[in-house]
Amino acid sequence: MKNMLISELGENELIRILLEKRDKLLDNVDTTVKNSYHDDAALIENNSRYTVVSTDMLIQHSHFPDGMSHYQMGAKIVTVNVSDILAMNATPCSILISMGLPLEMTKREYEELTDGILAKCKEYGITLIGGDINENTEIVLCGTSIGKADDTVKLQCNIGYGDLIAVTGELGSPAAALDILYNNDNIPEKYCDKEIIDTLLHPSLPLKESEILRNHPDIVTGITDITDGLAMELGHLHEKNNGVGFEIYYDKLPFNNTVKDVAAFNNKDLSEYLLHFGEDFELLLTLKAEKYHEYLEDLDYFHIIGKTNDSDKITLIRDGNEYELSVRGYEHLKDD
């Protein structure tokens, strides 16, 4: 059977295909709300104090490395948007996704793209409630995620002295994965770890850890997600907390041992992967020290990597020496 181009189908048919698949996944949705998903705007039920909204855009040449499938592209636009909702200690509920698609995209590729979107929506327990489709020279995906929160919502400007600094998982794997993919002809096969590569091509979120934080909001003083590199995210927190310093212990940073091997093979310092690349999609958070010890049994998944102080600096303790940490990472619209 001929694999049609999306240009042979048109916007209305592409939307119909997506909504037909989406509607099969809708369970226990209020009839009026469900019907609104086919109207000009969607209704959202929200009995919480706050509605939490965030948006993110992914562009093919910047965000989708060679070897990334259309399914993985669709999955990633959901992940990057929901990550911001988790970083507010909020519960994700729904998402809108607009797509700019090239005319030469096939129907099969479009089906894979939308399958990836819907699969991640199901994994994260959210509903695709709308969006738009337009023509573009390359794939551009833009999402707007919506969540809900009450008084347990967390802003980044309430960090105090003596808080513990933690992350929810290993760092540096996406950076290693990118070097594996782009040096595939030269890098030894033993380093081509699928688990590492998947952190870049098919990232997931720390859902279990996020649930723990929502259940124990009194532990947390601040949260952000690590998308632009640990150092850059620490810089953002530092900017919003006047006088607060952040002391990071290099030997406490969690990583997969293969990441260290890949860095060495590519003649790079491991710190470049752990501190300055990003795309980790883990949470960086500050915790009240006394509450952390009180709830220690529930916090096995968290890695303590430092503490805050009154130095008003970001420092790295490595091999017994203290360095002022360079605040750099991934940043759009800026030359290297």
Q: Within a 10 A sphere around the Cβ of 204, how many other Cβ atoms?
A: 15
Cα dihedral sign, 87-90-92-97: negative
Q: Are residues 208 and 290 in the same domain?
A: yes
Question: Which tens digit of pLDDT belongs to each residue from 10-59?
Answer: 989 999 999 999 998 888 788 888 888 887 788 888 788 899 999 999 99
For residue 325, pLDDT over 50 is answered with yes
Q: Are residues 16 and 124 in the same domain?
A: yes
The first and second tokens of residue 162, run together, are 């003596």
Say if 156 falls within a structural domain.
no
For residue 331, pLDDT over 60 is answered with no
Q: Within a 10 A sphere around the Cβ of 320, how many other Cβ atoms?
A: 6
Instruction: Report how many domains make up the chain.
Output: 2
Query: Mean pLDDT score of the chain, rounded to an integer?
Result: 92
Say if 216 falls within a structural domain.
yes
- Please give the pLDDT value at position 335: 56
> How big is the chain by its Cα radius of gyration, in Å?
21
Q: Are residues 229 and 181 in the same domain?
A: yes
* CATH number of the domain bearing residue 85: 3.30.1330.10
Asked whether 129 and 30 are in contact (CB, 8 A), the reply is no
- Please give the pLDDT value at position 213: 94
Q: Are residues 70 and 211 in the same domain?
A: no
Q: Classify 204 as helix, strand or coil.
A: coil
Q: Are residues 46 and 122 in the same domain?
A: yes
For residue 333, pLDDT over 50 is answered with no
Question: Which tens digit of pLDDT belongs to each residue from 176-233?
Answer: 999 999 887 688 888 888 999 999 999 999 999 999 999 999 999 999 999 999 999 9
Segments forming the whole domain that contains residue 132: 6-149
Say if 19 falls within a structural domain.
yes
Q: Are residues 137 and 234 in the same domain?
A: no
